[in-house]
Amino acid sequence: MREPWGADHLHHLLDAALGIDGADQVEARAVHAWGGLARFARSTVHQHVAGDDTTVSVRVVTRGRVGVASTNEVNPAGVAATGERALASARLSPPDPTFPGLAGPAPLPPVGPRFDAATAAASPERRSRAVARLLARLGPGQEAAGALSTGATEVALATTAGARLHGLATRAAVSTVVTGAGASGHAEEAAVALDALSPAEVGARAAGTAEAAVDPRTPVPGDHEVVLLPAAVATLLDHLAPAFSAKTVAEGRSPFSDRMGEAVVSPLLDLADDALSEGALGVPFDGEGTPKVRVPLLDGGVVRGLVHDRASAAAAGTHSTGHGLPAPNPFGPWPSHLALAPGATGVEELVGGIERGLLVTRFWYTREVNPKRTLLTGMTRDGTFLIEGGRRGPAVRNLRYNQSIVEALATCDGVGDRAATTSDEGGHIRAPALRLRSFRFTSASDH
């Protein structure tokens, strides 16, 4: 099925769980997701993947005890049976004195277009034609590998407290690595609609990077001035995201646990979690049925806000910001729509402000070393270049880095004027390029 079930159909299913005998409160949530992707390697589409899945989860509260169960049996009988299993689970669980209750009715915020019918119904042929536009931009001797995906998500949620929500969203994304003459280049893009993607531009950017990255030099490790392109910035923000969770802060695990209201990074940086802006992806309510709101996180480098779910909000005596994950959720609230505000400086001008440094296309194999310090380790990949005399110079071999995100962002003195969107199952990040005056590289690779 490549079209929505519809609000009436899904809520009819969810209603089968709401009247369970013995339950004090019930929440039922349905997620219908469908779509496909075209994988390509050696400049040939070699695999088509398609999926269509509907899952219903039920959360039951009885005498302060909470249980959750889920099913793919999407009919009233299956949903009702799942509610009974959730009730049985609740009765076997210890009481949860911190449980804040289920979401009640609330109006959804106005948002721009989130669902594109043509993207939701995209065929393998249409995805293949989009890939062909990417491949047409390769140079002589180059090959491309990657994937182009289209997908749709339909979410319905109902509670005995009165919440009754339905939302639709689509997502199209393309990512590629172009190789040739021993070098590689990467580019990616994501949008609400397939027609909003520019596969040809993505292919041209990756091909241009790969062409320029031939015959790399061996770099000297150490502290370098850098220009990070948007994909590299997005990696840093992705790993910084948990620091803005109210639960992480309350438990003392965030670098900002004792620094709220302080300047922690460059005053040039304004960061928000913004699921409501134009071009944002996903439905405008969270996994608990709370409408999303825009949350300023960094304002002029100062920590201004945190994201909350219902439990963290109740503990802090405030309101949820719409950042709850579906139950069961041991992680707490999660910022999944990070947006770093662009500045007024083009990438060439950012590079022009460095006499000698490095230009980084993206990071790879990034891992946390010390979350409280936001210390990461990883590698550069698919296009790392010297900056010499304010210009992009020759390519260099990839380097390993060990760097605190917060310490690196504190040295930012230039913000790019164009933001790019990266997207995966965990969320969506919109970020521009950044110029940082200090970034620590510990060793060089042999490739």
CATH code at 119?
3.30.2290.10
103, part of any domain: yes
pLDDT of 1 higher than 70: no
Indicate if 232 and 139 belong to the same structural domain.
no
pLDDT band at 2 (very low <50, low <70, confident <90, very high): confident
> What is the distance between the alpha carbons of residues 370 and 376, in angstroms, rounded to a whole number?
7
Indicate if 72 and 130 belong to the same structural domain.
yes
73-85 pLDDT, tens digit each: 999 999 999 999 9
> What is the distance between the alpha carbons of residues 67 and 94, in angstroms, rounded to a whole number?
10
pLDDT of 16 higher than 90: yes
101-120 pLDDT, tens digit each: 999 999 999 999 999 999 99
62: its two tokens = 């009885």
> Are the beta carbons of 36 and 124 closer than 8 angstroms?
yes
> What is the distance between the alpha carbons of residues 216 and 272, in angstroms, rounded to a whole number?
37
Closest to 244 (Cα-Cα) out of 277, 263, 271: 271
Indicate if 235 and 259 belong to the same structural domain.
yes
Indicate if 21 and 58 belong to the same structural domain.
yes
Indicate if 221 and 161 belong to the same structural domain.
no
Which residues, 6 or more positions from 347, have their beta carbon under 8 angstroms from its beta carbon? Answer: 227, 229, 416, 433
Q: What is the mean pLDDT of residues 213-226?
A: 97
385-433 pLDDT, tens digit each: 999 999 999 999 999 999 999 999 999 999 999 999 998 766 799 999 9
Mean pLDDT of the chain: 97
1, part of any domain: no
36-56 pLDDT, tens digit each: 999 999 999 999 999 999 999
For residue 208, give the H/E element and its range: helix 199-212
pLDDT of 447 higher than 90: no
207, part of any domain: no
Q: What is the mean pLDDT of residues 284-300?
A: 98
Last residue of a domain, one of 151, 177, 202: 202
> Are the beta carbons of 107 and 52 closer than 8 angstroms?
no
Task: Give, in degrees to the nearest 5, the angle at Cα 307 between 238 and 343.
Answer: 55
Indicate if 135 and 242 belong to the same structural domain.
no
Q: What is the mean pLDDT of residues 154-159?
A: 98
pLDDT band at 440 (very low <50, low <70, confident <90, very high): very high
User: pTM surpassing 0.85?
Assistant: yes
User: Percentage of the chain surpassing pLDDT 90?
Assistant: 97
> Are the beta carbons of 177 and 186 closer than 8 angstroms?
yes
Number of domains in the chain: 2
3-state secondary structure 101-140: CCCCCCCCCCCCCCCCHHHHCCCHHHHHHHHHHHHCCCCC
Which phi-psi region, left, alpha or beta, contains residue 294 (left: φ > 0; alpha: ψ -120 to 50)? beta
pLDDT of 270 higher than 90: yes
pLDDT at 425: 64
Query: What range defines the domain where residue 59 resides?
Result: 7-202
